[in-house]
A = this chain, B = another copy of it.
Amino acid sequence: MKLLEERILRDGKVKEGGILKVDAFLNHQMDIDLFEEMADELYRLYVTENVTKILTVEASGIGIACIVGQRFKCPVLFAKKTKTKNIDGAVYSAEVESFTHGTTYKVIVSKDYLLPSDRVLIIDDFLANGAALSGLAKIVNDAGATLVGAGIAIEKAFQPGGEMLRKKGIRIESLARIKSLREDGGIEFC
């Protein structure tokens, strides 16, 4: 998506260790006009899929997910992060390993809000190693719901998550796919 790529080039900042900071418009300050354009594009891509529920994970996926939910006229569900080891039976849960922070956390979704009849579109701001998306896909699967695919704002295509999950048969549509982040601050798209 040209508009998002241009915005990444203009306002994104490349930090050491392959980190791309986009907190000017995506995951701290949020540009809602941009989110509307992104949501329109994701709606166009998934409009035939009869989506009944948007699923994301707190915190930075929630904003985009809500604007996408407007388009599909369906509820938006966000998985909660928790460190609690003992989760009661009323939730679906998955372990997510954070490569950035070197920690593992659990994401949980109440069983009340994810039904076998649901056709679920997962929305997130970033796809890199695919840990969060794998966890959300597992939760959809555990609920017996149908995963129609994922809509991602920025995919770091030089990290393995996208390829790994596409190989498993999951449809992934990323609005900007980054091929490389150079140490001089350069950003190259696929």
Contacts and interface: CB of A to CB of B under 8 A. Distances in A.
A63 B76 contact: yes
Nearest to A75: B29
A73 interface: yes
A30 B63 contact: no
Contacts of A24: 112-113
A31 B75 contact: yes
Q: Is the interface of A mostly helix, strand, loop or mixed?
A: mixed
A16 to B, nearest CB: 15
A32 B70 contact: yes
A113 to B, nearest CB: 4
A92 interface: no
Nearest to A27: B78
Interface string A27-68: 011111101100000000000000000000011001101110
A69 interface: yes
A80 interface: yes
B30 A66 contact: yes
Contacts of A66: 30, 32, 35, 62-63, 66-67
Interface in A69-87: 69-70, 73-78, 80
Nearest to A33: B73
Given A23-B110, A59-B62, 11 more contacts: A25-B75, A28-B80, A29-B76, A32-B66, A32-B70, A32-B76, A33-B73, A59-B80, A63-B65, A63-B78, A66-B66
Interface of A: 23-25, 28-33, 35-36, 58-59, 62-63, 65-67, 69-70, 73-78, 80, 109-110, 112-113
